[in-house]
């Protein structure tokens, strides 16, 4: 079983590139954002709490996200692996993921990191909010907080995965097709 992580700041194109990766490599796309939005839409207790945090640009607690991810690993079949999008976001989550995978006889195969400048993050998220009507993308203050959170909490994962020999950085500023070609070339 292969376990890929799709990494990068909000608006880097992770969701767009995930569809192509899923098709090419027969993966189950596991987006924590989509899992959380589903809980929010259903109005579950988790969804209500998650909405409060997300609306402030904050992250949902690790144990909740880890439980959702573990459930996906245990209930999805017929795939050659998983593509994690939005998880892990911190060193603690990465270490927890390593433990989850080890208990299943696996390990992270590769981390694909789509990188774009902060100015482009604002442009893309504003555009996405207008197109998709996503309230979590609506205000500049929320976007700025998400960017700060990414830099403060998530960027340390770059060194974590570089040291593990799993990190592949992709310039995410090109066209969808150019970025996709770079990803496929890097993963073989």
Residue 138 pLDDT level (bands cut at 50, 70, 90): low
| Cβ proximity of 157 and 91 under 8 Å | yes
Tokens of 68: 């959702």
Phi, psi torsion values for 172, nearest 5 degrees: -90, 10
Dihedral (CA of 49, 50, 55, 59) sign: positive
State percent of the chain over pLDDT 70.
97
| Cβ proximity of 50 and 63 under 8 Å | no
Q: Rounded to 10 degrees, what is the CA torsion of 24, 27, 32, 114?
A: -30
Q: Give the Cα separation of 76 and 18 in Å (integer).
A: 17
Q: Is the pLDDT of residue 137 over 70?
A: no
Per-residue b/e over 130-140, b at no fewer than 16 CB within 10 Å? eeeeeebbeee
Every domain of the chain and the residues it spans = 2-179
DSSP assigned state of 154: I
Contacts 24+ apart (CB under 8 A), 170-174: 170/112, 170/113, 170/114, 170/115, 171/115, 172/8, 172/12, 172/13, 172/114, 172/115, 172/116, 173/116, 173/117, 173/120
Prediction pTM value:
0.80
| pLDDT recorded at residue 136 | 62
Q: Is the pLDDT of residue 121 over 70?
A: yes
Structurally, at CATH architecture level, domain 2-179 sits in 3-Layer(aba) Sandwich (3.40)
| pLDDT recorded at residue 124 | 87
State percent of the chain over pLDDT 90.
46
Q: Is the pLDDT of residue 134 over 80?
A: no
Give 50-76 pLDDT, tens digit per residue. 888 878 878 778 887 888 888 789 889
Give 76-112 pLDDT, tens digit per residue. 999 999 999 888 988 989 999 999 999 999 999 999 9
Q: Give the Cα separation of 50 and 39 in Å (integer).
A: 8
Residues 6+ apart with CB under 8 A from 161: 5, 7, 94, 108, 111, 167
Straight-line distance from the first to the last Cα atom of the chain, in angstroms, rounded to the nearest whole number: 16
């Amino acid at each position: 079983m292969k376990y890929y992580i799709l990494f990068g700041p909000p608006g880097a194109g992770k969701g767009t590139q995930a569809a192509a990766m899923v098709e090419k490599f027969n993966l189950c796309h596991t987006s924590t954002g989509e899992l959380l939005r589903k809980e929010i839409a259903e109005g579950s207790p988790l969804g209500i709490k998650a909405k409060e945090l997300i609306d402030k640009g904050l992250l949902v607690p690790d144990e909740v996200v880890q439980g959702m991810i573990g459930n996906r690993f245990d209930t999805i079949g017929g795939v050659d692996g998983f593509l994690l999008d939005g998880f892990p976001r911190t060193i603690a989550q990465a270490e927890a993921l390593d433990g989850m995978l080890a208990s299943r006889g696996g390990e992270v195969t590769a981390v694909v990191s789509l990188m774009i400048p902060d100015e482009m993050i604002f442009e893309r998220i504003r555009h996405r909010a207008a197109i998709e009507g996503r309230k979590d993308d609506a205000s500049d203050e929320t976007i700025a907080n998400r960017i700060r959170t990414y830099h403060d909490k998530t960027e340390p994962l770059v060194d974590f995965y570089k040291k593990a020999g799993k990190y592949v950085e992709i310039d995410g500023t090109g066209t969808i097709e150019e970025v996709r070609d770079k990803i496929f070339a890097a993963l073989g």
